[in-house]
Chain A
C-alpha cells in the first residue's frame, strides 16, 4: 500500500485479483495502483504521437498569430490558408484524439485493475491513426488540400486528404472499441468490486460520445472521398455542413468530457479531493451523453436550409441541460478541492484553502487555471455565441476562434498538459528536469492563450472575420474601413500568440528532455511536486458539516453566474441595435 505523493490522501491497497498474465502487470511505486504493461506501452505511443502533432500544430500557431497581427502579416495568402488547414487538423484532431486514446487506455486498466482488451487492436488503431495523420499532413504541405479543416464542399481537396482523415477516425474508433472491450473483460473477470470510479465513469461518457462523433465523421467524409475520386456526384453543401459539424462540434463534447474527468483525477492526485456527491457528478456526465448530440446546430445558426425551431431547440442542447451539467461540474470540482483543503486545516476565511493550494505543483496550477479559463472564458462565450439570434453578430467573425481557444486550448489542452506532469513520472517513470520551468509553464501558457482569446474576441466584435488573410482587405474593389480598436486587439492576439507558443514549446522541450534523457524513478516513488506543511490539529476549526462546507466555492460560482448574466444580457442589448432581419 501507501502513497508517497505528499498531500494526497493515502490510497488503500486492495487485494489484487486482476486478470493479467504473469509479468504483465506492475505496481506503481508512487500510488500503489496496478499498471498493465501492455496498456502502458500504448499509452506511451499515443502520448508521444500526441506531442509530435502538438509541435506541428504549435509551429502553425505562431505563424498564424504573426500573420493575423497586421503590423507583422508574416505569411503569404497561400501559406496562411495552408497553415490554417494544418493547424486546425493537427491540434483539434491529431493532438487531442491521440491524447484521449492514451487516457482511455490508461484509466480503466489502472483503476479497474484489468489488462488491456487487445494488444492487436491497439496496434491496428495506432497505425491507422498515425498513417492517416501523416497522409493528411503530407498532402497539405504538397499544396493539394488548401481547403481548411472543414473542407466545405464544393471545395475539393486531393483524395488522400479525405482518406487520411477517414483512416485516422477509424483508428480512433478502434481505440474506443478497445476501451469498451477492456471495461467488458474487467466486469466479466470481476477485477473490481462495486461501481466504477468517477474517472472511469467520465471516460466512459467521453467514449460513448466519441463513437457517435466518429460515425458522423464517416457519414460525412466517405461520400466526400468517393466524390473526390469520381465515384459519386458532389454531396449537397447544406447537408455536408450539418453532418460535418456532427463530427466537428460533438468532438468538442468529447473533449469537454475528457477534460472534466481529468479535472477530477488531478484534483484527487494533487489535493486528495473527493467528489462532494458522487451521484451529482455522475448525473452530470449522464446529461452530457443525453443532450450534446445535437450540437452541430451551433455552426449553422445563420444557414439557409434549416428553420428557426430546429435551430433554437438544438442549439439550446434541448433546454440547456448539457450547460447545466457543465455548471454542476463547475461547482463540484472546486468545491471538492475546498472541502479537502479545509479538512487538512487550510481553513482561514473564504479563500484560505485556495491561497494555500499547491500552486507550486504544475499538475494543480494547470488544472485549476484550466477550470477557471474554461468556465469564465469558454463556457460563457460558448453559450452566448450559440444563442440563435445573437449568433448573427458572431458567425464567422474572430469571436468564434476567440471562444474555442479558451475551451479546447485554455481548457482541454492545458488540462492535458497538467496531467502530463504526472504521466511522465508515473507511466514513463522519468523525472522532469528544470522543475522551476515546469512550474512556470502552465501559468505562461494560460496567460498567453487568454491574451490570444481576448484579442480575437474583441477584434471579432468589431466585425473582423476569421479565416481571412488580410483584415484590411487591401486591394479589394470596395475598401473596408477597419476600426483602430480592432488593430489594437489583433496586436494583442499577436503578442499573446508569442507568449502561448513559447509556453507550448517549453512544454514540449521539458517533456522530451524528461522522456528521453530524464532520470529513471523505477523502483521508487516519483519526486513530489510539492510538499505540504501539516497544520496542527489545535489550529483547526470545526464545522458542523465539514463534507459540505464550501463558502469559497459559493462565492466563486456566484461571481461566475453574475458575469454570465451580464455578458448574456449585454449581448441581447447589442443585438437589439443592429438592423432588423427576419
Chain B
C-alpha cells in the first residue's frame, strides 16, 4: 500500500505487462530522441537560434541602410523593401510596429535579421503560423525561404504593452 512503510525485501524487478510497458515506453522515447537531431540535419524547418549581439542604435542604422538601398514603394506609410534573393534583410520590431514591409520571392532564401528596439516581441507569420522570439540586444538571424506566394501578416505574439494587439505587419511574396 502506497501509504505504508516497506520492510526488507520489497525490491522486486518488474514482471509481465509492466516490464513490457517499460520497454515499449523506453523505445518510444528513443524514437523521439532521434527525431529531433534527424530533422536538424535533414528537415527544412529548424530554429537554430543563430544570433549576434547588437545595440538598438546600431540596429536602427542597419535597418535604415537596408531600406534606403532596396526600397521600391510605400504602403500605409511603411516603406516596401525588396532585397535581392540571398541578401540580408532586416526587420525592426518596436512598440507597436514592424518596419519595413518586405517583398520577397517564392522559393528564394533570405537572411532575415530581426531585433527589437524596446521590449520582447513575438514574430509570428500568419496564416503559415510560424513564430520566433524577438529580443532587444539580440540580432536573431533566420535563413528563411517562403514556399508559398501571397500576402502574409506579421502578428506580434509576445505581450508588449497595451497596444500589443495593434502590432501587425506585412510580408509580400511574389511568384
Partner of B40, one of A274, A312, A463: A312
Q: Are B6 and A308 in contact (CB under 8 A)?
A: no
Stretch at the interface among A50-58, A260-268, A367-375: A260-268
A301 to B90, CA, bound (A): 22
A406 to B40, CA, bound (A): 29
Q: Which residues does chain A contribute within 8 Å of B97, judged by CB atoms? A: 477
Stretch at the interface among A158-166, A251-259, A343-351, A384-392: A384-392
Q: Which residues does chain A contribute within 8 Å of B125, judged by CB atoms? A: 579
The verdict on B87 contacting chain A, using a C-beta distance below 8 Å, is no
The verdict on A465 contacting chain B, using a C-beta distance below 8 Å, is yes
> Which residues in chain B, 33-57, are within 8 Å of chain A measured between CB atoms?
33, 35-37, 39-40, 43-51
Q: Which residues does chain B contribute within 8 Å of A478, judged by CB atoms? A: 76, 153-154, 168-170
Min CB–CB distance B120 → chain A (angstroms): 5
Q: Which residues does chain B contribute within 8 Å of A327, judged by CB atoms? A: 21, 25, 28-29
> Which residues in chain A, 460-479, are within 8 Å of chain B measured between CB atoms?
461-463, 465-470, 473, 475-479
Q: Given contacts A304-B133, A481-B127, is CB(A279)–CB(B13) below 8 Å?
A: yes
Q: Are A264 and B2 in contact (CB under 8 A)?
A: yes
Min CB–CB distance B151 → chain A (angstroms): 9
The 0/1 profile, CB within 8 Å of A marked 1, for residues 17-29 of chain B is 1100110111011
Partner of A579, one of B1, B11, B28, B148: B148
A575 to B38, CA, bound (A): 14
A303 to B115, CA, bound (A): 11
Q: Are B130 and A324 in contact (CB under 8 A)?
A: no
Partner of B120, one of A9, A237, A273: A237
Partner of B47, one of A236, A308, A481: A308
Partner of B18, one of A111, A332, A575: A332
A307 to B40, CA, bound (A): 12
A320 to B28, CA, bound (A): 9
The verdict on A219 contacting chain B, using a C-beta distance below 8 Å, is no
- Number of residues from B at the complex interface, CB < 8 A: 89
Q: Given contacts A324-B29, A393-B129, is CB(A582)–CB(B46) below 8 Å?
A: yes
> Which residues in chain B, 48-82, are within 8 Å of chain A measured between CB atoms?
48-51, 76-78
The verdict on B126 contacting chain A, using a C-beta distance below 8 Å, is yes
CB nearest to A33 among chain B residues: B3
Q: Are A392 and B132 in contact (CB under 8 A)?
A: yes
Q: Are B6 and A465 in contact (CB under 8 A)?
A: no
The 0/1 profile, CB within 8 Å of B marked 1, for residues 396-439 of chain A is 11000000000000000000000000000000000000000000
The 0/1 profile, CB within 8 Å of B marked 1, for residues 309-327 of chain A is 0011001100111011001
Q: Are B49 and A81 in contact (CB under 8 A)?
A: no
Q: Which residues does chain B contribute within 8 Å of A194, judged by CB atoms? A: 5-8, 10
Partner of A304, one of B43, B129, B138, B168: B138
The verdict on A132 contacting chain B, using a C-beta distance below 8 Å, is no
Min CB–CB distance A482 → chain B (angstroms): 9
Q: Which residues does chain B contribute within 8 Å of A148, judged by CB atoms? A: 159
Q: Are B132 and A302 in contact (CB under 8 A)?
A: yes
Partner of A199, one of B3, B48, B166, B169: B3
Min CB–CB distance A515 → chain B (angstroms): 24
The verdict on A103 contacting chain B, using a C-beta distance below 8 Å, is no
Min CB–CB distance A556 → chain B (angstroms): 11
Q: Are A324 and B25 in contact (CB under 8 A)?
A: yes
> Which residues in chain B, 95-125, are within 8 Å of chain A measured between CB atoms?
97, 109, 118-120, 122, 124-125
The verdict on A134 contacting chain B, using a C-beta distance below 8 Å, is no
Q: Are B144 and A468 in contact (CB under 8 A)?
A: no
A236 to B137, CA, bound (A): 8
A304 to B138, CA, bound (A): 7
Chain A interface extent, by class: 35 or more
CB nearest to B147 among chain A residues: A579
Q: Are B2 and A268 in contact (CB under 8 A)?
A: yes
Q: Are B166 and A581 in contact (CB under 8 A)?
A: no
Min CB–CB distance A274 → chain B (angstroms): 4
A575 to B138, CA, bound (A): 26
Q: Given contacts A77-B162, A397-B131, A468-B165, is CB(A196)–CB(B5) below 8 Å?
A: yes
CB nearest to A279 among chain B residues: B11
CB nearest to A299 among chain B residues: B133
Q: Are B36 and A328 in contact (CB under 8 A)?
A: no
Q: Are B45 and A576 in contact (CB under 8 A)?
A: yes
CB nearest to A326 among chain B residues: B25
Q: Are A11 and B4 in contact (CB under 8 A)?
A: yes
Q: Which residues does chain A contribute within 8 Å of B136, judged by CB atoms? A: 154, 237
Partner of A280, one of B18, B29, B170: B18
Q: Are A397 and B16 in contact (CB under 8 A)?
A: no
CB nearest to B131 among chain A residues: A395
The 0/1 profile, CB within 8 Å of B marked 1, for residues 288-307 of chain A is 00000000000011111111
Q: Given contacts A572-B35, A579-B146, is CB(A480)–CB(B120) below 8 Å?
A: no
Q: Are B37 and A319 in contact (CB under 8 A)?
A: no
The verdict on A238 contacting chain B, using a C-beta distance below 8 Å, is yes
Min CB–CB distance A269 → chain B (angstroms): 8
A45 to B32, CA, bound (A): 44
A195 to B16, CA, bound (A): 25
A247 to B124, CA, bound (A): 26
The verdict on A65 contacting chain B, using a C-beta distance below 8 Å, is no
Partner of A316, one of B16, B24, B32, B146: B32
Min CB–CB distance B26 → chain A (angstroms): 6
Q: Are B5 and A279 in contact (CB under 8 A)?
A: no
Q: Are A576 and B44 in contact (CB under 8 A)?
A: yes
Q: Are B142 and A389 in contact (CB under 8 A)?
A: no
A475 to B148, CA, bound (A): 27
A490 to B43, CA, bound (A): 32
Q: Which residues does chain B contribute within 8 Å of A494, judged by CB atoms? A: none
Q: Given contacts A304-B135, A475-B166, is CB(A193)–CB(B7) below 8 Å?
A: yes
Stretch at the interface among A35-43, A353-361, A445-453, A545-553: A545-553
Partner of B6, one of A195, A236, A393: A195
- 3 residue pairs, one from A and one from B, having the closest CB atoms: A304-B51, A465-B157, A304-B140
Interfacial residues, chain A to chain B (CB-CB below 8 A): 9, 11, 33, 77-78, 81, 111-112, 146, 148, 152, 154-155, 192-199, 236-238, 241, 264-265, 267-268, 272-281, 300-308, 311-312, 315-316, 319-321, 323-324, 327-328, 331-332, 335-336, 383, 387-389, 391-397, 461-463, 465-470, 473, 475-481, 483, 545, 548, 550-551, 553-554, 557, 561, 564-565, 568, 572, 575-576, 578-582
Known: A197-B2, A396-B157, A575-B43. 7 other contacts (CB 8 A): A152-B158, A307-B48, A307-B49, A324-B25, A389-B39, A397-B129, A575-B45
**14 residue pairs bridging A and B, Cβ less than 8 Å apart:** A33-B3, A77-B162, A193-B5, A265-B2, A276-B18, A277-B13, A319-B33, A320-B32, A332-B18, A335-B17, A335-B18, A463-B124, A468-B165, A579-B148
